[in-house]
Amino acid sequence: MTAPRDDTVTTRPREWTQEAAPVHLPYSDGPDGAERLYAAWARPRRFGLLTEVNNTVIGVLYIATGFLFFFGAGVLALLMRVQLAVPGNTFLDADTYNQFFTMHGTVMMFLFAVPIVEAVAVLLLPNMLGARDMPFPRLSAFGYWCYAFGGVLVFSSLFFGVAPDGGWFMYPPLTSAAYSPGINTEFWILGLGFVEISALAAAVELIVGILRTRAPGMTLGRMPIFAWYTLVTAGMIMIGMPMVIAADVLLELERAFGMPFYDATRGGDPLLWQHLFWLFGHPEVYIIFLPAAGMVSMMVPTFARTRQVGYAWVVMAAISVGFLSFGLWVHHMYTTGLPLLSLSFFSAASTAIAIPMGIQVFAWLATLWDGKPVLRVPMLFILGFLFIFVVGGVTGVMVAAVPYDWQVHDSYFVVAHFHYVLTGGMVFPLVAGLYYWSPLVTKRMLSERLGRWAFGLMFVGFNAAFLPMHVTGLLGMPRRVYTYSGELGWDALNLSASVFSFVFAAGVLVVAVDFVRHLRSGPKAEANPWNAPSLEWLSGLAPYGFRSLVPVTSRYPVWEQPEMPGEIMAGRGYLPDAPTGERETLVSTLVGSVPEQILRLPMPGWTAFVAALATAIVFGAMTVKLPTIGVAGGVVAAAAILSWLWSMDRAFPREPVDAGRGAVLPLYSAGSGSVGWWGMAVLLISDGVVVASFMFAYLFFWTARPAVWPPAGSPFPGFIEPAAIAVAVIGAWVFFEVAERRNRRDSRLATGLCLVASAVLAGSALAMGWRWLDGSGLTPTAHSYGAAVWLLLGYMALHVATGIAMALWSLARLALGMIDSWRCLTLRICLLWWRFTVPAAVLTLLLVAGFPHVVA
């Protein structure tokens, strides 16, 4: 075997690249080794299952929860179709209908589509990549429980008649306190803020997992294509989600404290919401579609029984879509009266995305032509997907054309268009994936016959319900109307759409029935029933995945490395059984995937569950305005999260461990090689997007009304105070930097003093900032200018305060001997925070102090 080395990076020669060398098997050739492995990865029983953090449990729970929300939102859709079946119907009143369509969209997008595609990745990716688990299993457990509790909180508002009713897009001013005084909107903002956090958690973990925990030898060019799609998706979530979180924060600040970000009467601008929301909302469509396309790309070669044609082309298409999707957001704002030229830029970008989409579709088609395809149920759903998705794609080109969109925007044409994109692009591949991967989880096969029925009903029902809806829209029917007049020629089209929506639902029901039935009576599945080429089929989805991690030398290891299953079972790979007796996986280099470190993973524990439950209680109590319970929940949540953080940075034993195949790898890394450092780095990118969104808001108010912003008579910020604050913040960072250096020499006293100095300087920066802002006469509620300044500085104050907390945290650990020159990851991660905070704070101060002078 040739070593897949990459000479842009310096790689040490590793034992595993010398295939001929005698393989050293330290642990694995007896039943003892296997028992150690099973013991480490044993699942807790009964209630203990709530403590499990392993991806095979969390992933299944995640997917099951996602499907529950899918059914719930689907029932809402059917009820709406009953209401719209005939003109002037009184089955649902206006309020109920508005809550239903809002919740249908919200639940489908935020509680079904995004979580479930992440869930599929959480369940399958580690094994596809030849890893044993995700790099941060507790974080995925925390993310899952946040999503489950937050989702239930949002959904339950329906049963009390206080569900959000401002549309899933929640445009202010309709959703501001003046026009939506009830708690309905709070359910949306707080509940979804919570769910968005869980999506970010999953994204961080997927990115680090894909980049750093791949099987040895699985270079970037050998990754299963699903991993590429997931990497792009997770990157998009990381950039996109913070924007909607920022928009939510502004809306909640306006609703709760009267800071006028969207209120045009006080200098705000409702368009700001639309920019921030669609900056996330358009990529959202691709966030949903790309992982589904990734699943399709895994299934097509299996059923075509040949390699994917144009692997590099498809990877390129996925990357293109990920990037270009961020240049499309105004696509949803063509009718807002922006200059025609600005709209046309977005039109060109929207159209450009058709090229990678075309490449993707034709790569699948070529693969089908290249092989000898077999038509099993998953393939049937993929064919359905191809047809429906292409229709959604070509109507997408239509709505990307500015003048055409002026007609069809917010009409039923668009309803039809995006149901084609999302149902075709995501639900059909998901059902295909359900039929395809279920045998891996349940060890039983779903029914081929029921599957065909389900496909027939879903395909016919879907197309008959939604294809004519394009015409309904062109005949002038707007979206989001609970009733319509019988004289406009929409009756027959609506009635047939309602009837066929039930046919589609019947198809979904058949899938559900088949799934429940197969759990008991489905025929037993073979280990690799479809003869698929990817690694997850060799794992049997055991909690530990593989008994040992054998180097990958091909894109299709199961087909092209026939010796692999035997080697895995014989323990001839890396990490045979469990060398440390704990749960562990390999950390490898980014490009060449050379093993670098053994990562010990957390065992089952209550922290993630308790932290999520308590956080849910905080958000729930905030929503329904019960401060006492909220504070109590907050204390519990903080305690759980702090104890979680306290348990991290495990540095011992210091001795490297024999990882099999002659490689001796460390158990601990304190530098940029550690996954914790990477997690923080990825998280800071998201945080940077939030900061950028707030700065965008500040500048946007000016571009909206350059003549009157900042408003006449508002005090100009001086330069002295911000300069002093900046010096203090920079000083705090420098002392932290010095502390880290001193710690390398184990000078504990100097390190401690530097940390104290850092905290003191940061504290003085906070105090100076408060005096400056409070004394400036700038009120946050009078005008959007004051609100934006308070927002920007407040957010930076939060960062500096976190920096203080980190200094104190490090000090405590230093005092207890938990930080020294060997064990210094904590210190370095905190330093990373400061390295982000300082430029962000300086930039913020420069903007706040300088910009009014520039435009004046």
Write out the binding residues for another protein, residues 741-780 only, by CB under 8 A: 744, 746
- Is 570 an interacting residue with respect to another protein (CB under 8 A)? no
Cβ proximity to another protein: between 628 and 856 the closer is 856
Contacts with another protein in 328-347 (CB under 8 A)?
A: 335-342, 344-345, 347
| Residue 614 beta carbon to another protein: minimum distance, rounded to whole angstroms | 35
Peptide linkage before 710 cis (omega within 30 of 0): yes
C-alpha to C-alpha distance for 288 and 236, rounded to whole angstroms: 10
If residue 347 lies in a helix (H) or strand (E), which one and from where to where?
helix 340-352
- Is 221 an interacting residue with respect to another protein (CB under 8 A)? yes
| Residue 588 beta carbon to another protein: minimum distance, rounded to whole angstroms | 10
- Is 356 an interacting residue with respect to another protein (CB under 8 A)? yes
Helices (H) and strands (E) in the chain, counts: 27, 4
Angle between helices 311-324 and 354-370 (to 10 degrees): 160
Instruction: Find residue 588's DSSP bridge partners.
Output: 595
| Residue 681 beta carbon to another protein: minimum distance, rounded to whole angstroms | 9
If residue 557 lies in a helix (H) or strand (E), which one and from where to where?
helix 557-560
Cβ proximity to another protein: between 239 and 525 the closer is 239
Q: By CB under 8 A, name the one of 25, 68, 78, 174 that touches another protein.
A: 174
- Is 327 an interacting residue with respect to another protein (CB under 8 A)? yes
Cβ proximity to another protein: between 471 and 506 the closer is 471
- Is 410 an interacting residue with respect to another protein (CB under 8 A)? yes
Cβ proximity to another protein: between 526 and 560 the closer is 560
Contacts with another protein in 191-220 (CB under 8 A)?
A: 211, 219-220
- Is 401 an interacting residue with respect to another protein (CB under 8 A)? yes
Tokens standing for residue 96: 């109920």
Q: Which stretch binds another protein (CB under 8 A): 138-146, 315-323, 449-457, 644-652?
A: 315-323
Contacts with another protein in 119-158 (CB under 8 A)?
A: none
| Residue 360 beta carbon to another protein: minimum distance, rounded to whole angstroms | 8
- Is 90 an interacting residue with respect to another protein (CB under 8 A)? no
Q: By CB under 8 A, name the one of 31, 562, 671, 817 that touches another protein.
A: 671
C-alpha to C-alpha distance for 518 and 527, rounded to whole angstroms: 17
The DSSP result for 239-269, as a single string, is: HHHHHHHHHHHHHHHHHHH---SS-GGGT--
Q: Please answer whether residues 429 and 381 qualify as being in contact, where contact means their C-beta atoms are separated by less than 8 angstroms.
A: yes
- Is 348 an interacting residue with respect to another protein (CB under 8 A)? yes
3-state secondary structure 808-837: HHHHHHHHCCCCCCCCCHHHHHHHHHHHHH
| Residue 570 beta carbon to another protein: minimum distance, rounded to whole angstroms | 28
Measuring CA to CA, how many Å separate 433 from each of 66, 82, 300, 381, 428? 14, 30, 11, 9, 8
Cβ proximity to another protein: between 44 and 673 the closer is 673
- Is 326 an interacting residue with respect to another protein (CB under 8 A)? yes
Cβ proximity to another protein: between 142 and 364 the closer is 364
Contacts with another protein in 472-531 (CB under 8 A)?
A: 474-476, 478-485, 487-489
| Residue 389 beta carbon to another protein: minimum distance, rounded to whole angstroms | 9
Q: By CB under 8 A, name the one of 79, 398, 513, 638 that touches another protein.
A: 398
Q: Residue 527 carries which DSSP code?
A: S
Contacts with another protein in 651-670 (CB under 8 A)?
A: 666, 669-670
C-alpha to C-alpha distance for 32 and 10, rounded to whole angstroms: 38
Q: Which stretch binds another protein (CB under 8 A): 248-256, 286-294, 589-597, 789-797?
A: 589-597
Cβ proximity to another protein: between 83 and 607 the closer is 83
Contacts with another protein in 691-730 (CB under 8 A)?
A: 703-704, 706
Three-state DSSP state, 591: coil
Q: Please answer whether residues 205 and 135 qualify as being in contact, where contact means their C-beta atoms are separated by less than 8 angstroms.
A: yes
If residue 587 lies in a helix (H) or strand (E), which one and from where to where?
strand 584-588
- Is 10 an interacting residue with respect to another protein (CB under 8 A)? yes
- Is 96 an interacting residue with respect to another protein (CB under 8 A)? no
End-to-end CA distance of the chain: 68
| Residue 65 beta carbon to another protein: minimum distance, rounded to whole angstroms | 29
C-alpha to C-alpha distance for 533 and 555, rounded to whole angstroms: 8
Report phi then psi at 478, rounded to 5: -75, 160
Contacts with another protein in 789-828 (CB under 8 A)?
A: 820-822
Contacts with another protein in 265-294 (CB under 8 A)?
A: 265, 268-271
Cβ proximity to another protein: between 189 and 363 the closer is 363
Length of the chain: 856
> How many Cβ atoms are within 10 Å of 600's Cβ, its own excluded?
18
Q: Which stretch binds another protein (CB under 8 A): 37-45, 198-206, 348-356, 715-723?
A: 348-356
Indicate the burial class of 147 (C-beta count within 10 angstroms; 0-12, 13-18, 19 or more): buried
Report phi then psi at 839, rounded to 5: -60, -35
The DSSP result for 354-369, as a single string, is: HHHHHHHHHHHHHHHH
Cβ proximity to another protein: between 27 and 364 the closer is 364
| Residue 15 beta carbon to another protein: minimum distance, rounded to whole angstroms | 17
Judged by CB under 8 A, the number of residues near another protein is 133
Q: Please answer whether residues 770 and 754 qualify as being in contact, where contact means their C-beta atoms are separated by less than 8 angstroms.
A: no
Q: Please answer whether residues 795 and 694 qualify as being in contact, where contact means their C-beta atoms are separated by less than 8 angstroms.
A: yes
Q: By CB under 8 A, name the one of 23, 316, 542, 801 that touches another protein.
A: 316
- Is 18 an interacting residue with respect to another protein (CB under 8 A)? no
Cβ proximity to another protein: between 411 and 539 the closer is 411
> How many Cβ atoms are within 10 Å of 108's Cβ, its own excluded?
25
- Is 387 an interacting residue with respect to another protein (CB under 8 A)? yes
| Residue 374 beta carbon to another protein: minimum distance, rounded to whole angstroms | 9
Report phi then psi at 276, rounded to 5: -65, -40
Q: Which stretch binds another protein (CB under 8 A): 52-60, 429-437, 586-594, 727-735?
A: 586-594
Q: By CB under 8 A, name the one of 371, 451, 602, 786 that touches another protein.
A: 371
Strand duo 657-658 + 664-665: pairing: antiparallel
Cβ proximity to another protein: between 272 and 610 the closer is 272
User: What are the E-state strand segments in 637-780?
Assistant: 657-658, 664-665
Contacts with another protein in 462-481 (CB under 8 A)?
A: 471, 474-476, 478-481
| Residue 567 beta carbon to another protein: minimum distance, rounded to whole angstroms | 23
| Residue 34 beta carbon to another protein: minimum distance, rounded to whole angstroms | 32
Q: Which stretch binds another protein (CB under 8 A): 63-71, 183-191, 264-272, 523-531?
A: 264-272
C-alpha to C-alpha distance for 206 and 200, rounded to whole angstroms: 10
- Is 171 an interacting residue with respect to another protein (CB under 8 A)? yes
C-alpha to C-alpha distance for 99 and 76, rounded to whole angstroms: 10
- Is 411 an interacting residue with respect to another protein (CB under 8 A)? yes
Instruction: Tell which residue, 652, 668, 653, 648, has the closest CA to residue 607.
Output: 648
Strand duo 584-588 + 664-665: pairing: unpaired
C-alpha to C-alpha distance for 188 and 82, rounded to whole angstroms: 25
| Residue 98 beta carbon to another protein: minimum distance, rounded to whole angstroms | 6
Cβ proximity to another protein: between 391 and 440 the closer is 391
Q: Please answer whether residues 409 and 335 qualify as being in contact, where contact means their C-beta atoms are separated by less than 8 angstroms.
A: yes
- Is 560 an interacting residue with respect to another protein (CB under 8 A)? no
- Is 1 an interacting residue with respect to another protein (CB under 8 A)? no
Cβ proximity to another protein: between 51 and 308 the closer is 308
Three-state DSSP state, 600: strand
